[in-house]
Amino acid sequence: MNKRRRVYEGKAKVLYEGPEPGTLIQHFKDDATAFNNKKHALIEGKGVLNNRICEYIFLRLGEIGVPTHFLRSLNMREQLIREVEIIPLEVVVRNVAAGSLAQRLGLEEGKPLPRQIVEFYYKNDELGDPMVTEEHITAFGWATPQEIDEILALALRINDFLVGLFLGIGIRLVDFKIEFGREWDNEQMRIVLADEISPDCCRLWDIATSDKLDKDRFRRDMGGVLEAYQEVARRLGVLAGSPRPRGSGPVLVSSKPN
């Protein structure tokens, strides 16, 4: 096999040069990290599940007109994506109090927020991704006011869609983190959803039992990380080897315990 050029290696993914100019191969690893890399483990099979879940979500978002970097699936762990200029912001959308928000403002975890809240964090591992405001973003030139408006509008649309998608399979979308990039087409630029959406960067709680089906199981040493990700994939109908044909859509799950 030809040795591919590695363009970037992150905590959970590797980017390789793609087959055509302007494309990259996004490879999902089994590595799990938390607390700015202080905690690390290998969770065998996680990369395969995240690849499948992310592919499914990006395709569905593309169908409702959300521009994304996703081009096509390549294999169990890899997808072909368009090369974009990543905007150095982590955009967090929240529906329910949890994690850092609950801690910072002394809110009870699980309390629905009065409305959806969007937060920005500056992507910088050395600084531990500090929270920033639109003032910082425009003053330091990370994004223009117009780009921020577009990012906010896309983030809210993505949230509305995902809340409904997960609700339909008995899952509460508590919060999630997304990233955006600039895609250039000659002189034209558009903002597209980049990176990934998977249980690594979402809080997903089972509606009936409140079980956590996301990376908090790893952060909080709860065990059953792979099983939780498998459950999300199974309900979305994308688990390879599941009795339902792959890609046949979400499985409706009753929100009330039997």
Could you tell me which stretch among 25-33, 155-163, 170-178, 241-249 binds ligand UDP (CB under 6 A)?
170-178
Q: Rounded to the nearest whole angstrom, what is the least distance from the CB of residue 152 to ligand UDP in the complex? A: 16
Q: Rounded to the nearest whole angstrom, what is the least distance from the CB of residue 237 to ligand UDP in the complex? A: 22
User: What does DSSP assign to residue 124?
Assistant: -
Q: Kindly identify the residues of this chain, within the stretch 24-83, that bind ligand UDP according to CB under 6 A.
A: none
Closer Cβ to ligand UDP, 54 or 202, answer by number: 202
Q: Rounded to the nearest whole angstrom, what is the least distance from the CB of residue 101 to ligand UDP in the complex? A: 6
Is residue 212 involved in binding ligand UDP (CB under 6 A)?
A: no
Could you tell me which stretch among 48-56, 160-168, 199-207, 224-232 binds ligand UDP (CB under 6 A)?
199-207
Q: Rounded to the nearest whole angstrom, what is the least distance from the CB of residue 226 to ligand UDP in the complex? A: 17
Residues 6+ apart with CB under 8 A from 197: 53, 54, 57, 58, 158, 162, 176, 178
Between CA 90 and CA 184 the distance in angstroms is 21
Per CB under 6 A, the list member of 177, 212, 217, 235 interacting with ligand UDP is 177
Q: Give which of 229, 208, 207 is closest to 217, Cα–Cα.
A: 229
Q: Give which of 201, 179, 162 is closest to 12, Cα–Cα.
A: 201
**Neighbouring-strand partners of residue 181:** 86, 192
Closer Cβ to ligand UDP, 123 or 184, answer by number: 123
User: Residue 143 phi/psi, 5° resolution?
Assistant: -160, 155
Closer Cβ to ligand UDP, 100 or 144, answer by number: 100
Between CA 147 and CA 153 the distance in angstroms is 10
Q: Kindly identify the residues of this chain, within the stretch 91-150, that bind ligand UDP according to CB under 6 A.
A: 92, 98-101, 129
Q: Rounded to the nearest whole angstrom, what is the least distance from the CB of residue 249 to ligand UDP in the complex? A: 24
Q: Answer whether 85's CB lies under 8 Å from 191's CB.
A: no
**Neighbouring-strand partners of residue 81:** 24, 70
Query: Which DSSP string corresponds to 170-190?
Result: TEEEEEEEEEEEEEEETTEEE
Closer Cβ to ligand UDP, 46 or 177, answer by number: 177
Closer Cβ to ligand UDP, 14 or 201, answer by number: 201
Site for ligand UDP, rule CB under 6 A? 90, 92, 98-101, 129, 175-177, 201-203, 215
